[in-house]
């Protein structure tokens, strides 16, 4: 009898833990503050807005392309701030610019690295083309 | 990149014929199943200052002046001042005033008319992108019926559609037909974004409200400066 009660309690506890596991993301979503929502949206949209064209720039201009990606003037996504509260704007602006700039710098760096690899392979295959 | 180009391009298309424009707006924005509705008033003052006063869902002032954007919250006594390296603009309003230019300002930003055709009462014009953006942006299509813009489409370099806009319910002022309803669909990799902007009670070349003309952030408001 005691064993049956123990097994029953164990099942209840297991069910509660599983329910909590699934409920936690839902609960945390409902209580996401304006600031956190802004940060989340800013990061997502900064990455989404990042241009793959910077990979081409990095490929063609090597480290200068990487520097340009980091320093290039970024437009302010003003339309996304219309009708949003101050906490949201604060969170959004903090993360958007950083996420977009970082992503574009990575693209440029990837292009730069690819260019270096191709140059190295080209030299390895036929060094005479690199000599004067 | 597309957004950057559009923002830069629209900042060059402010109309010079109207000294002031004031209009009420309701903007519906649908992304990933989430619908947002924003209501307020927009005040334009030549040569290029735009003030947006949002009434719902929050009380918010947005003042666009070249490379500076000020966002002020009177209820929260907070303000942000963005200082950018390039002009800051509001695309959904510039789609409204951009009609002042016969070619929607496309020539000013380097687009070249490649061909045109008529289908019934509709004139379609097709524009090739400038070289500096030809790697990302493709053809721009404008459609007119009796001098009223009714449709615009921007394609990417690979031929896929980046956005489509439909213009309805035009009002005539001077030689220009301003669309009071603009529907835009933006196509992204994973989703489509729907935007509907309805303008009401437009007034042209009338004095703007004193609080808009003489707007200043109160001294007891905390201003956060953001160098963008």
Superfamily (CATH) of domain B2-227:
Lipoprotein localisation LolA/LolB/LppX (2.50.20.10)
Instruction: Please give the tally of structural domains in chain A.
Output: 1
Higher pLDDT, A121 or A23: A121
B29/B34 Cα distance (integer angstroms): 8
Does residue B154 surpass a pLDDT of 80?
yes
Higher pLDDT, A47 or A108: A47
- Tell me the nearest-neighbour CA distance from B36 into chain A, angstroms: 9
Domain that holds residue A67: 35-130
Per DSSP bridges, beta strands B222-227 and B78-83 are parallel
A50 located within any domain: yes
A8/A12 Cα distance (integer angstroms): 6
Residue B223: both structure tokens together = 């201003």
Cis peptide before A115 (omega within 30 of 0): no
- Helices (runs of H) and strands (runs of E) counted in chain B: 3, 14
Task: Choose among A52, A47, A103, A46: nearest CA to A77.
Answer: A46
Q: Tell me what the mean pLDDT of segment A20-24 comes to.
A: 62
Interface residue B136 vs chain A (CB under 8 A)? yes
A75-88 confidence digits (pLDDT tens): 788 999 999 999 99
B7/B92 Cα distance (integer angstroms): 10
CB contact under 8 Å between B80 and A89, yes or no, is: yes
CB contact under 8 Å between A83 and B57, yes or no, is: yes
Which of A30, A59, A74, A82 would best serve as a mutation to test chain B binding (most B beta carbons within 10 A)? A82
Q: Which residues does chain A have within 8 Å of residue B71's beta carbon, measured at their own beta carbons?
A: 81, 86, 89
- Tell me the nearest-neighbour CA distance from B228 into chain A, angstroms: 7
Q: Which residue in the block uniquely carries the two structure tokens 């950018």? A: B84
The whole-number pLDDT of residue A119 equals: 80
Alpha carbon distances (Å) from A87 to A39, A93, B203:
10, 10, 33
Interface residue B88 vs chain A (CB under 8 A)? yes
The structural domains of chain B, with segments of one domain joined by +, span 2-227
The whole-number pLDDT of residue B9 equals: 42
């Amino acid at each position: 009898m005691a064993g049956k009660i123990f097994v029953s309690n164990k099942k209840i506890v297991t069910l509660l833990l599983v329910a909590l596991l699934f409920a936690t993301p839902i609960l945390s979503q409902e209580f996401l503050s304006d600031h956190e929502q802004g940060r989340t949206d800013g990061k997502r949209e900064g990455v989404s807005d990042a241009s793959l064209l910077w990979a081409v720039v990095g490929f063609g201009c090597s480290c200068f392309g990487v520097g340009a990606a980091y320093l290039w003037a970024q437009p302010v996504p003003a339309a996304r701030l219309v009708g949003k509260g101050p906490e949201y704007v604060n969170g959004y602006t903090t993360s958007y610019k950083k996420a977009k700039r970082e992503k574009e710098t990575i693209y440029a760096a990837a292009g730069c690295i690819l260019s270096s690899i191709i140059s190295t392979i080209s030299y390895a295959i036929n060094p005479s083309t690199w000599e004067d | 990149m597309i957004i950057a180009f559009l923002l830069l391009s629209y900042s060059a298309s402010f109309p010079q014929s109207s000294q002031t424009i004031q209009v009420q707006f309701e903007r519906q924005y649908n992304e990933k199943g989430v619908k947002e509705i924003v209501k307020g008033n927009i005040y334009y003052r030549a040569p290029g200052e735009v003030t947006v006063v949002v009434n719902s869902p929050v009380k918010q002032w947005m003042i666009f002046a070249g490379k500076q954007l000020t966002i002020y919250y009177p209820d929260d006594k907070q303000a942000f001042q963005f200082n950018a390296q390039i002009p800051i603009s509001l695309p959904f309003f510039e789609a409204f005033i951009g009609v002042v230019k016969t070619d929607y300002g496309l020539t000013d930003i380097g687009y070249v008319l490649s061909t045109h055709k008529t289908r019934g009462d509709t004139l379609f014009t097709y524009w090739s992108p400038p070289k500096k953006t030809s790697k990302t942006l493709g053809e721009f299509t404008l459609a007119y019926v009796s001098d009223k813009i009714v449709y615009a489409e921007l394609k990417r370099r690979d031929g896929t559609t980046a956005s489509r806009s439909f213009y309805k319910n035009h009002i005539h002022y001077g030689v220009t037909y301003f669309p009071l309803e603009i529907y835009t669909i933006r196509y992204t990799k994973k989703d489509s974004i729907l935007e509907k902007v309805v303008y009401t009670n437009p007034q042209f070349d009338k004095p703007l409200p004193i609080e808009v003309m003489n707007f200043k952030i109160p001294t007891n408001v905390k201003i956060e400066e953001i160098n963008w």
